[in-house]
Structure 1
Amino acid sequence: MMNKKSKIVLVGGGSTWTPGILKAMTTHLKQFPLEKITLYDIDEERQKVIGEFAKILFKEEAPDVKVSYTTDEKEAYTDVDFVFCQMRTGGFEMRDKDEKIPLQHGVIGQETCGPGGFAYGLRSIRDMEKMVKSVRRFSPDAWILNYTNPAAIVALALDKIFPKEDKVLNICDQPVNLLRSFASLIDFDANDFEPVYFGLNHYGWFTHLYDQTGKDRMPEIKEVILNGGFRPVDAEQRDQSWLDTYAMVEDMLRDFPEYLPNTYLQYYLYPEYKLSKMDPNRTRTDEVREGRETKVFNECRRIVENGTAKDSSVVHNDAHGDMMVEVAASIAHNLRKTYVVMVRNNGIVSNLPDDSMVEVAASLGANGPHPYAVGKIDTFYKGLIESQHAYEKLTVEAYMEESYTKALQALTMNRTVVDAKKARKLLDALIEANKEYWPELK
């Protein structure tokens, strides 16, 4: 079965994350043999830069794999086995507004959390719905692996819109980033962890980290963090805002020492503190534009000009690329490896709503994810998750029903907003900014 070669389309092929995914494909060719790769993006200029880089990379590292790029959806989606999806509807222009408009109203500005994530979610749902329908028209049996943010809202929306769809899997690399960083603290191979994890996307906790002998390594990892702080394993490649984000794990662990938290929880647990550290005139978007965006495109242009990728720093492996490729390999070849993924709850966490899209450990094979049961969770975590699920569900319903009231309820529910008068002002500002992308809320 391992001899079967897969045909891939990468949606959002002009993304700065694409080189890392492409490099992961060349690195994992033995585990995930490929016949062809098509990059697809609606932005022809960005797509061409990354597409030409891709051709050079594969000519040097995997010359038998056919590589192309296109802005035509029929060409992209016809006769493929896997769709790797990483859209950003509205691009960096809208991300900038997602972060800065909330800050103008005294609320956290972050691309996936709070009002920024709400705005981004309402934009993403439309394009993700269109993408799934297009893929099914041209490749009815293809697996769709989705990285598109905010993944929690996107996952819930797709589950509501396509309730019988069983080949769409929403994933996030942050649990993997955390596992790699935890492992580095105790000189351990992250691939050998057996994690126990529960929550929603960007809103979860590790409860156990077992090694091959069955020993839970979490107590010693906690001790290292409490004594020496926490940094990402790839700290030298991270912007300062990410280093600050990882450092907050120590704060969360001191206040709530039971479990190891996902880094994104800091926005919900410490909204006033996080807001006080944000510059309304310079946000993460500016940092990315000046950092990764500039570096990746300059480097790809240099590679195309020189005709070789052999001396490039832009094609390093990272968790983002590795996870996408490894998940596809586990499905394609029925490897049944364990990953943290998003699935419909249906009793996995027994005291959470069945229709919530929980993020939990699951075995992945040819028939998709087989999640491991979590059971009941304690009041504190249950209360937090139920509140966040209500926000996500109301956001999806606001989109599907074109409801201003549901949108207002959603923002009021969010822990970064809380105040209904503030929520209304924010919503009106976001409606104005997103009028080209959102449904008309009535």
Structure 2
Amino acid sequence: MKLTVVGGGSTYTPELVDGFARLRDTLPVEELVLVDPAADRLELVGGLARRIFAHQGHPGRVVTTSDLDAAVDGADAVLLQLRVGGQAARQQDETWPLECGCVGQETTGAGGLAKALRTVPVVLDIADRVRRANPDAWIIDFTNPVGIVTRALLRAGHRAVGLCNVAIGLQRKFAGMLGLAPADIHLDHVGLNHLTWETAVRLGGPEGEDVLPRLLAEHGGTIAGDLRLPRPLLDRLGVVPSYYLRYYYAHDEVVEELRTKPSRAAEVAAMERELLTMYGDPTLVEKPALLARRGGAYYSEAAVDLAAALLGGGGNPYQVVNTYNKGTLPFLPDDAVIEVQAAVDSKGAAPLPVPAVDPLYAGLMADVTACEDLALEAALRGGRDRVFRALLAHPLIGQYAYAETLTDQLVAHNREYLAWA
């Protein structure tokens, strides 16, 4: 089995490699190819990847290359974890929206739109090259904004599934609170990527007992603290929102925080410099503890499960993924990309039935889905007017004067990545 990681020079990659090494019985990788145009980073990450495999007794071969076509040739699955523009572009995404009093964040609002415009054309080119190399290959997208990028891939006819680590992180957290194994916890997880709610926490599977009320009663304070939302809000909602919902539920509070502290991009850039120094140590044979602060916790477990299921092997029968709606949520178009529990096998991901969704959440999902429609049109067809429409429609923006200013800022900061600008 050959797996290719596009963006293999990312500091995330050792998390992924560690999962491949530990879970080799679930996903027997024979050749792991890390491809990245940044040769200096790739050398450091690739060296650590080989040492992790050797240390854990994994027989697979790790190959590093900057040649994308060679990397995807014959690949059974291709994982996308690229960042067009690097942390410098992320820093811009997180700062210029604040000038209008809007959240600066890399996956939602104006910053998320900027990232989508930079990313979608690049991902579609990569996917076309994967399809030419092996039409049967699966593409697993971990590249943000996952919902928009996955929708672009599916609309272009690619065999693609989107992946996020929010659900698996919550599954692990809730299992720990209940003193259970993660496999014993099934989440009723519903929404769009980075716009999700846990409406039930079930024991054993989709039909199991819902213990969410017990979790909120016994651990609501801890959960609310982790989300940085008030405990009474969780009690009133009776669900656990993704921590990304704080950008909506506490927008002005978040903007003030972001204006007065270093950006997440600056924090990550500093961590990356430290991690890359660590990766260059020839005695390091395990992923360092610092990597947990970088983000992407449990990404490797989620990726292994998804790849194994798509390639006809093991893996969990039910997984939270990003895929076409296909009537699952009747208030959204069939071709909307939703993030829900799905049955995953070699044919792809089939969403499980979802109980009726409270209008409080359905309304926001519908709004953001419309924004993603407009964002994808802007990414595929370009044009200042399309950017303006996507910004005006977004519930984190919504005022024409802000949309005008943010359009100018977005184009100015991303001109080198926009073929039409």
State the TM-score, normalizing by the size of structure 2: 0.93
Q: Which residue of 1 aligns with 2:302?
A: 323
Task: Report the equivalent of 1:229.
Answer: 222
- What per-residue deviation string (whole Å, max 9, x for no partner) do you get for residues 251-307 of structure 1? 6414x523221111111222111112113662101111223x1332121111x2x3x
Match of 1:236 in 2: none
**2: CA distance between counterparts of 1:72 and 1:81?**
17
Question: How far is the alpha carbon of 1:70 from its aligned partner?
Answer: 0.4
Aligned-partner residue type, residue 319 of structure 1: Y
TM-aligned CA distance change 1:245 to 1:222, over 3 Å: closer
- Structure 1 letter corresponding to 2:211: R
Residue 228 of structure 2 corresponds to residue 247 of structure 1: yes
Which residue number corresponds to residue 3 of structure 1? none
Structure 1 vs Structure 2: percent identity of aligned residues? 29
Cα distance between partner residues in 2 of 1:271 and 1:314: 29
Residue 396 (structure 2) pairs with residue 416 (structure 1): yes
* Equivalent-residue separation in structure 2 for 1:428 and 1:301 (angstroms): 41
Pairing partner for 1:383 from 355, 359, 363? 363
Equivalent position amino acid for 1:188 in 2:
L
Report the Cα offset of residue 414 of structure 1.
1.4
> Is 1:150 matched with 2:145?
yes
- Specify the SS of the correspondent of 2:201: strand
1:54 and 1:216, CA in 2 relative to 1: closer, same or farther beyond 3 A? same
Aligned CA distance change for structure 1 residues 415 and 222 (closer, same or farther; 3 Å): same
State the shift of 1:400 in Å: 2.0
Q: 2:411 aligns with which of 431, 434, 439?
A: 431
1:276-315 alignment runs, 5 A limit: 276-279=256-259, 282-291=262-271, 293-302=272-281, 304=282, 306=283, 308-309=284-285, 313=289
Taking a change above 3 Å as real, the CA distance of residues 310 and 99 of structure 1, as seen in their structure-2 partners, is: closer
Note the residue ranges of structure 1 that are not aligned, 5 or more in a row.
1-5, 232-243
Distance 1:250 1:154, change over 3 A: farther
| Residue aligned with 2:285, SS | coil
Which residue of structure 1 lines up, in the alignment, with residue 212 of structure 2? 218
Provide closer, same or farther for how the CA distance between residues 280 and 156 of structure 1 changes in structure 2, counting only shifts above 3 A.
farther
CA distance in 2, matches of 1:210, 1:375: 14
How far apart are 1:248 and its partner, in Å? 2.4
> Is the Cα–Cα contact under 8 Å of residues 15 and 300 in structure 2 kept in the other structure?
yes
Q: Output the aligned Cα RMSD.
A: 2.1
TM-score, with length taken from structure 1:
0.89
Q: How big is each residue's C-alpha offset from its partner over 1:11-53, in whole Å with a ceiling of 9 and x where there is no partner?
A: 1111111000000000001111111111001111111110111
| Structure 2 CA distance for aligned equivalents of residues 295 and 54 of structure 1 | 17
Q: Determine the structure 2 residue equivalent to 1:178.
A: 170
The aligned runs of 1:34-433 (5 Å cut-off) are 34-160=29-155, 162=156, 164-165=157-158, 167-212=159-204, 214-226=208-220, 228-230=221-223, 246-248=227-229, 250=231, 252-254=233-235, 256-279=236-259, 282-291=262-271, 293-302=272-281, 304=282, 306=283, 308-309=284-285, 313=289, 318-335=297-314, 337-433=317-413
2:407 & 2:306 partners in 1: Cα distance? Answer: 37
Contact kept in structure 1, 2:116 and 2:379, CA below 8 Å: no
* Deviation readout 1:71-107 (Å, 9 max, x if unpaired): 0112211111111110101000100000011112221
Q: Which of 404-413 and 421-430 deviates more?
A: 404-413
CA contact (8 A) 1:100 1:281 kept: no
**Distance in 2 between residues matched to 1:188 and 1:55, nearest whole Å:** 33
Determine the C-alpha separation between the residues in 1 that align with 2:392 and 2:61.
49
Matched letter for residue 401 of structure 1:
R
State which of 23, 26, 35 in structure 2 corresponds to 1:31: 26
Q: Could you report, residue by residue, the CA deviation over 1:354-391 in whole angstroms, capped at 9, with x for unpaired residues? A: 22111110111111112101153232222111110111
More displaced, 54-63 or 43-52?
Answer: 54-63
Give the aligned residue type for 1:215: E
Contact between 1:185 and 1:224, CA under 8 Å: does it hold in 2?
no
Q: Distance in 1 between matches of 2:163 and 2:247?
A: 21
Report how far residue 229 of structure 1 moved. 2.4
The one-letter amino acid of 1:142's match is: A
Whole-Å Cα distance in 1 between the matches of residues 287 and 150 of structure 2?
Answer: 38
Shift of 1:200: 0.6
Matched, 1:16 2:11: yes
SS of residue matched to 2:59: coil
Q: 1:280 to 1:113 in 2, by over 3 A?
A: farther
CA deviations 1:203-252 (Å, max 9, x no partner) are: 111111110282111111111343x3228xxxxxxxxxxxx763327464
Alpha-carbon displacement from aligned partner over 1:284-339 (angstroms, at most 9, x marks no partner): 01111223x1332121111x2x3x51695468794111111121112223446111
CA contact (8 A) 2:275 2:291 kept: no
Give secondary structure in 1 for the equivalent of 2:162: strand
- Greater alpha carbon shift after TM alignment, 88-97 vs 188-197: 188-197
